[in-house]
Structure formats: structure tokens, C-alpha cells
């Protein structure tokens, strides 16, 4: 790990023997003693957001490096909510958000990384991927759209792609928002029960839910093949939304602190400037 991992329930994927089933999606042990006890989270999250705002401004001013945050999850995993909470108070001028759905006909005419590369963050920016290049070793694998040889080649392509970004000054953090199957069922039902959330429900989500076990295997494989010290995967227990948000923000702030962005050197003497 390039930076010291703060005390969170997050699990750094650092071995081929990693098992997703060993991670409790409801774990908030480092944050509180009782489930749903948010009393310790609020003040700390506010403190982290204030620090994130300062660090993002410095990164934007420095304008030489960037940060890419990748968010992956099963349906109802909380990617949208995590992004909203992470970026609260951050200057939108220094943020790029990209959401990757099923590829278009034009995108299918190119290699699978073509559409991804075009959305990577510019220097000075924080980029957030809501789903990502990993879809091409997840949904494609689960539904048999690629064979084992192609999947292995995609892992290698992803590693090379991320190394290219790293070589050009982009720090990469990848988060898998880990919820239980029971929690997903409750969140899907909530979308059906609340008329204001009906639009969030897609009947196809139930078809994907039927492949729950296959997705666990696909995620394990993707993370173990494509996690490294310089482009790490973190599994975030996400049954408790406040715990998810706190864990992600702790890690992002720690990574930016390690980057230590600095404002550019000015070529004038501020004291010699006279404002009339």
C-alpha cells in the first residue's frame, strides 16, 4: 500500500486467495459499537469533507496529477449515494463523473477500453467512474459473452491500462461496495413500495439477482487479478450506508494526503501588488 490505510472496515485485496464471502457486508466495527449507531460518524465525516475540499483545491491548483476513483457494486449497492456523499462540498469544476452503461454501437466498433480512456480525469481533477472498464470482465463473464481466454486477456489489458494511467500521474482507487443478498432484497422492495422510487426499479434487476453467486465469483476473480499496491481494490462493507460513506471518504482523504498536492509557484511578489 502506497499510503497508510486508515482504520475502517474496508478490506484491501492483496492476495489470490481472497474470498468475498469472508467479508461481512454489515461490518462497522471500527466505527461504532452498535449497528446503525451514527453518533460517531457525523462529526468525523464533516471533518473529512472539509479536508477533502482543501486537498481537492490544491490538486486542482497544482494541475499536474489526477485521482481516479472507481466504484463497482451489484444492483442497489449504493454507487450513486456514495458519489453524492463523497463529493459533498467539493468544487464541481475539479471533478469529472462518468457512468458506463451498455456500450453503444459506436463503442462496440472499438476495443473495450476505448470509451473508458476518453473519460479518465484531466490533470488537476478527481475522476469518478460509476461502473467502469471492469464491466467487461463481470457481466460479460457471468452471461458467457466472453470465453476464459478472452477474460484472461482482458485482465492483462486492464492492468496495462491502469499502469499507463499511473505512469502519467493518475492515482487509482477502486472500491467494491459489498452488500448482502438480503440487503439487496430489502432495497429492491423499498423501490417498489415507495412511489417516488418506482422509477429506480428495473425488472431486469431480478434477472441479474438470479446470478448472485456467479457475480461473487466474477468479482473475486477481477479483484484478485487486478489489485496491486499502486492500483488497489478495496471491499467496502456497504449494508450500512453511513459506514460505507465514512470508509470511502477516509481512504480517499488518506490517498490525497499521501499525494500531498502543492500550489504552483507564482512569478510575482504579492506584497508588491497594489489594488486601487
Q: Is 1 within the bounds of a domain?
A: no
pLDDT of 30 reads 87
Provide the CB-side half-sphere exposure for 57 (13 A, CA). 9
pLDDT of 35 reads 52
pLDDT of 270 reads 86
The mean pLDDT of 96-116, rounded to a whole number, is: 96
Q: Is 108 within the bounds of a domain?
A: yes
Confidence of residue 31 (pLDDT cuts 50, 70, 90): confident
Confidence of residue 4 (pLDDT cuts 50, 70, 90): confident
Q: Is 183 within the bounds of a domain?
A: yes
- Specify the range with the lowest mean pLDDT, choosing from 5-19, 183-197, 243-257: 5-19
Distance between CA 257 and CA 169 in Å, rounded? 15
CA end-to-end distance (rounded Å), the chain: 51
pLDDT of 1 reads 66
Q: Are the C-beta atoms of residues 248 and 24 closer than 8 Å to each other?
A: no
Query: pLDDT digits over 135-154, tens only?
Result: 999 999 999 999 999 999 99
Q: Is 219 within the bounds of a domain?
A: yes
Confidence of residue 186 (pLDDT cuts 50, 70, 90): very high
Confidence of residue 38 (pLDDT cuts 50, 70, 90): low
Query: pLDDT digits over 238-248, tens only?
Result: 999 999 999 99
Distance between CA 139 and CA 49 in Å, rounded? 33
Q: How many CB atoms lie within 10 A of CB 178?
A: 27
Containing 187, the helix (H) or strand (E) segment is: helix 181-193
Q: Is 268 within the bounds of a domain?
A: no
pLDDT of 36 reads 54
Distance between CA 224 and CA 236 in Å, rounded? 15
pTM of the model: 0.94
Q: Is 100 within the bounds of a domain?
A: yes
- Specify the range with the lowest mean pLDDT, choosing from 27-36, 89-98, 184-193: 27-36
Count of domains in the chain?
1
| CATH code at position 127 | 3.40.50.300
The mean pLDDT of 228-251, rounded to a whole number, is: 95
Question: What residues make up the domain containing 95?
Answer: 11-32+52-262
Distance between CA 145 and CA 135 in Å, rounded? 12
Grid cell in block for residue 182: 438480503
The residue ranking higher by pLDDT, 168 or 41, is 168
Q: Report whether pLDDT(198) > 80.
A: yes
The mean pLDDT of 13-37, rounded to a whole number, is: 83
The mean pLDDT of 251-268, rounded to a whole number, is: 94
Q: Are the C-beta atoms of residues 74 and 239 closer than 8 Å to each other?
A: no
The mean pLDDT of 14-36, rounded to a whole number, is: 84
Distance between CA 193 and CA 200 in Å, rounded? 11
Q: Is 6 within the bounds of a domain?
A: no
Q: Is 214 within the bounds of a domain?
A: yes
Percentage above 70 pLDDT, the chain: 96
pLDDT of 39 reads 61
Q: Using DSSP, state whether 233 is helix, strand or coil.
A: strand
> The cell 460509476 sits on which residue?
130
Residues 6+ apart with CB under 8 A from 89: 49, 50, 52, 53
Distance between CA 184 and CA 77 in Å, rounded? 7
Distance between CA 170 and CA 33 in Å, rounded? 37
Amino acid at each position: 500500500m502506497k499510503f497508510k490505510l486508515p482504520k475502517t472496515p474496508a478490506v484491501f485485496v492483496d492476495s489470490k486467495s481472497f474470498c468475498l464471502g469472508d467479508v461481512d457486508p454489515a461490518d462497522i466495527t471500527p466505527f461504532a459499537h452498535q449497528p446503525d449507531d451514527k453518533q460517531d460518524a457525523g462529526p468525523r465525516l464533516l471533518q473529512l469533507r472539509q479536508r477533502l475540499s482543501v486537498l481537492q483545491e490544491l490538486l486542482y491548483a497544482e494541475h499536474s496529477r489526477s485521482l481516479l476513483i472507481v466504484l463497482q457494486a451489484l444492483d442497489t449497492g449504493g454507487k450513486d449515494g456514495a458519489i453524492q456523499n463523497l463529493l459533498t462540498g467539493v468544487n464541481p469544476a475539479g471533478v469529472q463523473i462518468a457512468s458506463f452503461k451498455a456500450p453503444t454501437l459506436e463503442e462496440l466498433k472499438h476495443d473495450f477500453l476505448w470509451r473508458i480512456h476518453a473519460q479518465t480525469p484531466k490533470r488537476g481533477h478527481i475522476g469518478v467512474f460509476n461502473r467502469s472498464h471492469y464491466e467487461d470482465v463481470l457481466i460479460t463473464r457471468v452471461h458467457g459473452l466472453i470465453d476464459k481466454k478472452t477474460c484472461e486477456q482482458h485482465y492483462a489489458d486492464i492492468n496495462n491500462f491502469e499502469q499507463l494511467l499511473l505512469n502519467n500521474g493518475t492515482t487509482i482507487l477502486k472500491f467494491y461496495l459489498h452488500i448482502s443478498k438480503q440487503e439487496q432484497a430489502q432495497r429492491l422492495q423499498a423501490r417498489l413500495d415507495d412511489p417516488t422510487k418506482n422509477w429506480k426499479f428495473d425488472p431486469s434487476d431480478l434477472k441479474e439477482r438470479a446470478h448472485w453467486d456467479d457475480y461473487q465469483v466474477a468479482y473475486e476473480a477481477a479483484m484478485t487479478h487486478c489489485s496491486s499496491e499502486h492500483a488497489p481494490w478495496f471491499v467496502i462493507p456497504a449494508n450500512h450506508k453511513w459506514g460505507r460513506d465514512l470508509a470511502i471518504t477516509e481512504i480517499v482523504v488518506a490517498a490525497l494526503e499521501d499525494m500531498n498536492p502543492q500550489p504552483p509557484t507564482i512569478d510575482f511578489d504579492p506584497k508588491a501588488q497594489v489594488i486601487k
